[in-house]
Structure 1
Amino acid sequence: MKIAANECIHCNSCVRACPSVFDAIVNVSHDVIIVPELCSGCPKCVAACPVDCIYPDPDWEPTTDVSIWDEVRRG
């Protein structure tokens, strides 16, 4: 998934919708970004966005390093 920064209204709906096990969406300075290595590819952020500024990323691939999920689960 990708967030179109020029369309984002910074409401944080996507941040709240991202499953806490992943926490793949973060606020960085004045931008909201999706960390591709943490993104599971679920559409919860897309559904939560009131301005439809989150789009599928054609270059996104699930991470092949499965140990990252152990780190995410430990928090």
Structure 2
Amino acid sequence: MDETPLSTRLVASLLGVHGRFGPTPDFRWTIRNDRTFRASVRRIPEREFDRPVLGHGSMIEIDGRKTVLDGFEQVL
């Protein structure tokens, strides 16, 4: 069973991020320079990592790099 509070799950569902990794709409609204942001995201594969450090939510234990790239694919 999901231990996340119901209110958090509802908000995450409304933002389209419940159960998946990726930027929320409000995060995307803060991007001032799309070209620079996209260039930064495209450099992610240059880094060696397996488990990204998240500020909240469930840990990404496997396929971290793929999960991050897939999550940001919508903004590229």
- Which of the five TM-score ranges fits, normalised by the shorter chain? under 0.3
Q: Identify the structure with the greater strand proportion.
A: 1
Q: Identify the structure with the greater helix proportion.
A: 2
TM-score (norm 1): 0.27
Q: Which has the higher contact order (CA 8 A, sep 6+)?
A: 1
